[in-house]
Chains A and B, each alone.
Chain A
Amino acid sequence: MQYLDTGWFGIFITLMMVTFVLSNIYRAKGKKELFIRRISGLNALDDAIGRATEMGRPIVMVPGIGDLNAISVQAVNIFKQVAKTASQFGTPIRVCCANAAVYTVAQEVIRDVYQGAGMIERFDSQTVQFVSDRQFAFAAGVSGMILRDQAAASFLLGEFYAESLIFAETANAIGAIQIAGSTKTAQTPFFIAACDYVLIGDEYYAASAYLTREPVLVGSLIGQDWGKILIAAMVFFGFLLNSIERVQPATQHRGEDDKGNANWTPVDSATVKEKDKLKKANDTFTFQVFNPFITEAMKKVDPPRKPDPDAPKEEGK
């Protein structure tokens, strides 16, 4: 019983990332005034709410059409901040959900905000609503709502797919202020083209730390930064090492047999062909670290197991 050679490096790096995040959360506890760089899309949230309040028109918010996961939870967390302000000023909000589990979370969280502010009478069946769990029916329903209610602002935060542009252009057509953000890189260009402010990639995950400045969240953000620096460092040293190795002559080449087991073939400098003289991508140290050696012998490290007497027999065998 042991780990196969595969994976120790991956597990090690992942555990390092986990340690970065957790240790920084621990370090940040009790500290105040932690720096986060400016994220203009989030600064614009208050302006957008203010404008909606002045105009007396609703704010439409969509937490994406993805399943319930950290991305939609993050959207709900941001909407919670919006709801806090909106409930004070009596600005109507519409949170439109496309997934029943996300709807459940949003319902619970947003109602809590209104209850906490003592404004529960402002919370009605339309404040948080489930529109449809079918992608394009949802798109039709929400764009209809944006147009009919003449939304003053629309916040599109979460996992979006092809329908992203339908919302963004519809809201743009009636001149709503739009703040969008998606972790789906494929949809970000459409948001950039059609929305006023866009949270790109990771800025989305930084949002709740930015808005609340809670030590736990900011600490976690610092840990993520460390992780990114580690990745950049790995890439930096990796490409240097790789570059140097690739111009060195090879003494052996790594190959794979048809079972996926790795093996080494020594290089005979007298007979070697031109194309095999130098080290190839598979021969480098970095490749070996990322793609460990597996051999048939490694699969036999465990002692043989006894057959299970209760298991039904295969017919004819």
Chain B
Amino acid sequence: MNAAFWDKLQKVDRRVLYVVLVVLTSIGLFLKAEIPVAVDDSSADFYAKLMKIDPNKPVVVQTDWTISTRGENMAHLECLLRILMTRKIKFVYYSATSDAPAFQVATDVIRHINEERKAMNLKVYERGTDYIGLGLFPNAEGANESMRNDIKKAWGGRRVRMPDGNETDIFQTPVLKGVNSMGDFGLMVVVTASDTIDFAVQRLNDKVELTGMATGVIAPGMLPYYQARQLKGFAGGLKGCYDMEYMMKHGINHPEEGGKIYVNAGKIVGEVPPLGSGKDLARATQYYADLHIALSLLIFAVVVGNVAMFAQKKAKKGAE
């Protein structure tokens, strides 16, 4: 092969790369392969926690993301909701971020998970009796601080419309009945695309069992909190979310047919069963397989570029 060919190969037009990326990621969506994975300790702890908490205690979900980081956070929230709804755990959700649409986005996700459950003939979660939305708190730090001090003051005066059409104070509803402080919640989960997780850790980690789900950019910063046990577990980025879905399907240390154990998490002593929500492998599974294709393309492109560069140099020298 001659120098011109290698020259072309090391200066491929960017548009060619873009088209290849679009085509490959589109094809990748249809593969939906279940990729075997070594589950992160943090996700294993998170899943075990979610499967072990008392279903009679409500869970509090803080969801601080908008459409622009939908790719990771929507998979996170969907996965969390599937676990909560399958385990029949009541929950309360709100957004503590200056990004105004966050609450609406979360409400939409709950709606479409409910539609999905309806289609599978499962019980639909009713607002007021099974879950409550509190709305938006624009100042994350202040909201967490006042929740730490007195939850009744922090959420005071918020009302919710029950399925029968009546308005009720949120603390009178079946969801929050008997809740007087953060300690009465079984778990708190922060789903976020920004540093709001830092405020939650600073203000609330000693009041309630705190966990988180965050984008790949935020997640590395959560590792120190997890190591210090300030976070009881977390799912970081798409990988963390795929870990969750994989465990929802296979459990932890759980022997399936033929005694095969898919997830062998060293830290978790004992067995955690799979979830069986009817749709355990969902968005993250689809995206994660696709991510491999995209990453392979990136690495392939870098390798080709380098090989071509060396080959061209060699060919040039040969020609001289």
Instruction: Please say whether chains A and B are actual partners in one complex.
Output: yes
Interface residues of A (CB under 8 A from B): 136, 169, 173, 186
Residues of B contacting A173 with CB < 8 Å?
14
Residues of A contacting B68 with CB < 8 Å?
136
Alpha-carbon separation in the docked complex, A186 to B217 (Å): 10
* CB < 8 Å A-B pair total: 4
Alpha-carbon separation in the docked complex, A125 to B217 (Å): 38
Residues of B contacting A186 with CB < 8 Å?
217
Expressed in whole angstroms, the minimum distance between the Cβ of A142 and any Cβ of chain B is 17
Alpha-carbon separation in the docked complex, A268 to B251 (Å): 47
Q: Which residue of A lies closest to B206 (CB)?
A: A258
Q: Which residue of B lies closest to A135 (CB)?
A: B68
Alpha-carbon separation in the docked complex, A242 to B60 (Å): 43
Alpha-carbon separation in the docked complex, A166 to B123 (Å): 45
Alpha-carbon separation in the docked complex, A169 to B14 (Å): 10
Interface residues of B (CB under 8 A from A): 14, 68, 217
| Majority secondary structure of chain A interface residues (helix, strand, loop or mixed) | helix
Q: Which residue of A lies closest to B15 (CB)?
A: A173
Alpha-carbon separation in the docked complex, A306 to B68 (Å): 53
Alpha-carbon separation in the docked complex, A136 to B69 (Å): 12
The contact sample of 4 A-B pairs, CB cut-off 8 A, is A136-B68, A169-B14, A173-B14, A186-B217
Q: Which residue of B lies closest to A258 (CB)?
A: B206
Alpha-carbon separation in the docked complex, A22 to B223 (Å): 39
Expressed in whole angstroms, the minimum distance between the Cβ of A176 and any Cβ of chain B is 15
Alpha-carbon separation in the docked complex, A2 to B14 (Å): 64
Q: Which residue of A lies closest to B69 (CB)?
A: A162
Q: Which residue of B lies closest to A136 (CB)?
A: B68
Q: Which residue of A lies closest to B68 (CB)?
A: A136
Which 3 residue pairs of A and B lie closest in terms of their CB atoms, listed nearest first? A173-B14, A136-B68, A186-B217
Expressed in whole angstroms, the minimum distance between the Cβ of B315 and any Cβ of chain A is 26
Residues of A contacting B14 with CB < 8 Å?
169, 173
Expressed in whole angstroms, the minimum distance between the Cβ of B65 and any Cβ of chain A is 14
Alpha-carbon separation in the docked complex, A136 to B68 (Å): 10
Alpha-carbon separation in the docked complex, A173 to B13 (Å): 10
Alpha-carbon separation in the docked complex, A181 to B272 (Å): 49
Alpha-carbon separation in the docked complex, A143 to B14 (Å): 16
Alpha-carbon separation in the docked complex, A186 to B195 (Å): 14
Q: Which residue of B lies closest to A162 (CB)?
A: B217
Q: Which residue of B lies closest to A169 (CB)?
A: B14
Alpha-carbon separation in the docked complex, A136 to B14 (Å): 22
Expressed in whole angstroms, the minimum distance between the Cβ of A258 and any Cβ of chain B is 9
Alpha-carbon separation in the docked complex, A186 to B68 (Å): 19
Expressed in whole angstroms, the minimum distance between the Cβ of A75 and any Cβ of chain B is 24
Residues of B contacting A169 with CB < 8 Å?
14
Alpha-carbon separation in the docked complex, A173 to B68 (Å): 25
Residues of A contacting B217 with CB < 8 Å?
186
Expressed in whole angstroms, the minimum distance between the Cβ of B98 and any Cβ of chain A is 13
Alpha-carbon separation in the docked complex, A137 to B217 (Å): 21
Expressed in whole angstroms, the minimum distance between the Cβ of A98 and any Cβ of chain B is 16
Expressed in whole angstroms, the minimum distance between the Cβ of B206 and any Cβ of chain A is 9
Q: Which residue of B lies closest to A173 (CB)?
A: B14
Expressed in whole angstroms, the minimum distance between the Cβ of B243 and any Cβ of chain A is 24
Alpha-carbon separation in the docked complex, A173 to B17 (Å): 13
Expressed in whole angstroms, the minimum distance between the Cβ of B18 and any Cβ of chain A is 11
